[in-house]
């Protein structure tokens, strides 16, 4: 059996699976603030799941919202989580007495789509996760691409417009894909649109239900052209970014997932149209498909990471 753990900025999701990725047990907890508390929580989760396991737990996989240096396993950069400098695999391995493998959360989600999801039949794939930020993973020759020191495939920071808006979060760049197609970027654009249309459906819904990308999607789906335009612009940027990525990776398939992908055709049709307009002719036929997995991609991918390590 295997344990997969997805550590998010606000919550930790863990799963116990059998060797065929069938879910035997699940756990969800709030992410504690301090490094010690995070490590203690992870150790307790592993202990509890190992007790409920009906066969030995062979390895543990962990996805973190952090840049994980290779081959050392040191967490080199972690903005939302107090784990910077920690060699998490060693630390958790010592505390649990088990084999632990750690990778970036977007890489782990990409692994889930490749091994068990929408990119299952592809040897070369680009997986974009449109959440609070834009995470990405590239599968090349059937394996996750990590770059020279493990920092590879930060696909959300591909530049769509060099003079574009500042990238949200800790990136010093401008006009990155993340500055257009992330939930954060769409929420920011929606706030500006609400100032321009203070009595419109979008402004009213944001006051009632919250100024986030989910509200934008709901209002757009109800037919509001202002909200629909925001999603169309995010989709445009996505298509531009994908055409740039196609030139680098030549993928057979693009997989689009994460909370923003729930906007469906209102976002993805624009992305696909812009991609087909811009891609070099040999790339233009790449398949563009929605992700199979939702929020569970992280923990299932982490379990798959563990399986790979135990193989
Ligand atoms: Zn950026």
Answer whether residue 279 is part of any domain. Answer: yes
Same domain as 63, residue 18? yes
User: Rounded to the nearest whole angstrom, what is the distance from the C-alpha of residue 183 to the centroid of ligand 1?
Assistant: 14
Domain count, the chain: 2
Same domain as 276, residue 142? yes
Answer whether residue 106 is part of any domain. Answer: yes
Same domain as 301, residue 274? no
pLDDT tens column, 148-170 = 998 888 999 999 999 999 998 78
User: Rounded to the nearest whole angstrom, what is the distance from the C-alpha of residue 278 to the centroid of ligand 1?
Assistant: 21
Answer whether residue 203 is part of any domain. Answer: yes
Mean pLDDT of 175-198: 96
Same domain as 183, residue 97? no
User: Rounded to the nearest whole angstrom, what is the distance from the C-alpha of residue 82 to the centroid of ligand 1?
Assistant: 21
> Tokens for 179?
């500055």
User: Rounded to the nearest whole angstrom, what is the distance from the C-alpha of residue 120 to the centroid of ligand 1?
Assistant: 29
User: Rounded to the nearest whole angstrom, what is the distance from the C-alpha of residue 172 to the centroid of ligand 1?
Assistant: 6
Q: Which residues pair with 137 in a beta bridge?
A: 127
The per-residue pLDDT for 79 is 80
Same domain as 277, residue 171? yes
- State the maximum Cα–Cα separation within the chain, in Å, rounded to a whole number: 60
Same domain as 92, residue 137? no
Answer whether residue 227 is part of any domain. Answer: yes
* CATH value at residue 10: 3.30.420.40
The per-residue pLDDT for 152 is 81
Q: Is pLDDT at 214 greater than 90 in this prediction?
A: yes
Answer whether residue 116 is part of any domain. Answer: no
User: Rounded to the nearest whole angstrom, what is the distance from the C-alpha of residue 176 to the centroid of ligand 1?
Assistant: 5
User: Rounded to the nearest whole angstrom, what is the distance from the C-alpha of residue 134 to the centroid of ligand 1?
Assistant: 9
pLDDT tens column, 16-69 = 999 999 999 999 999 999 999 999 999 999 999 999 999 999 999 999 999 999
Which value, to the nearest 10 degrees, does the dihedral of the CA atoms of residues 173, 154, 5, 26 take? 90
User: Rounded to the nearest whole angstrom, what is the distance from the C-alpha of residue 188 to the centroid of ligand 1?
Assistant: 15
Please tell me the distance from the alpha carbon of residue 302 to that of residue 5, in angstroms, as a whole number.
6
pLDDT band at 282 (very low <50, low <70, confident <90, very high): very high
pLDDT tens column, 195-204 = 999 999 999 9
Domain that holds residue 68: 2-110+295-310
């Amino acid at each position: 059996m295997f344990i997969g753990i997805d550590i998010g900025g606000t919550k930790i999701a863990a799963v116990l699976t059998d060797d065929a990725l069938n879910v035997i047990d699940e756990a969800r907890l709030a992410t504690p603030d301090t490094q010690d508390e995070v490590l203690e929580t992870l150790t307790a989760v592993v202990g509890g799941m190992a007790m409920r396991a009906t066969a030995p737990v062979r390895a543990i996989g962990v996805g973190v919202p952090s840049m994980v240096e290779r081959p050392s396993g040191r967490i080199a950069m972690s903005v939302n989580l107090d784990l910077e400098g920690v060699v998490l695999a060693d630390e958790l391995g010592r505390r649990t007495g088990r084999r632990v493998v750690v990778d970036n959360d977007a890489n782990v989600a990409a692994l889930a789509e490749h091994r068990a999801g929408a990119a299952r039949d592809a040897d070369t794939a680009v997986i974009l996760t449109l959440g609070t930020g834009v995470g990405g993973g590239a599968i090349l020759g059937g394996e996750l691409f990590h770059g020279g020191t493990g920092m590879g495939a930060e696909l959300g920071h591909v530049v769509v417009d060099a003079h574009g808006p500042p990238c949200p979060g800790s990136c010093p760049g401008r006009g990155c894909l993340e500055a257009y197609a992330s939930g954060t970027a769409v929420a920011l654009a929606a706030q500006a649109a609400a100032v321009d249309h203070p009595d419109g459906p979008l402004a009213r819904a944001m006051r009632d239900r919250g100024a986030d990308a989910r509200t934008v999607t709901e209002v757009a789906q109800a037919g509001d052209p202002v909200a629909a335009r925001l999603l169309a612009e995010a989709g445009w940027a996505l298509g531009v970014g994908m055409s740039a990525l196609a030139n680098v990776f030549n993928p057979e398939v693009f997989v689009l997932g994460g909370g923003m992908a729930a906007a469906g055709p209102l976002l993805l049709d624009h992305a696909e149209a812009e991609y087909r307009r811009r891609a070099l002719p040999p790339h233009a036929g790449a398949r563009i498909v929605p992700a199979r997995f939702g929020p569970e991609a992280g923990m299932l991918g982490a379990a798959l990471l563990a399986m790979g390590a135990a193989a």
